[in-house]
Amino acid sequence: MRVQRRRGDIVVGLDAVERDLLASLATQYDEVLHDDEGDDAVHDRLFPVAYRDDPDADDEFRRYTYEGLVERKSANAGRIAASIAAAGDGRILLDPDAVGAWLPALTDLRLVIAERLGIRHDDDTVPDDQLGQVYHWLAELQARLVDAVDR
Statement: the pTM of the whole predicted model exceeds 0.85: yes
Distance, CA of 105 to CA of 80 (rounded, Å): 8
- pLDDT confidence of residue 72: 97
Number of domains within the chain: 1
DSSP 88: T
- Residue count (the chain): 151
Domain containing 20: what range? Answer: 2-150
Distance, CA of 60 to CA of 51 (rounded, Å): 10
- pLDDT confidence of residue 8: 87
What are the average pLDDT values for consecutive 10-residue runs of the chain, which has 151 residues?
Answer: 93 95 96 82 91 94 94 97 90 95 97 95 94 97 96 81
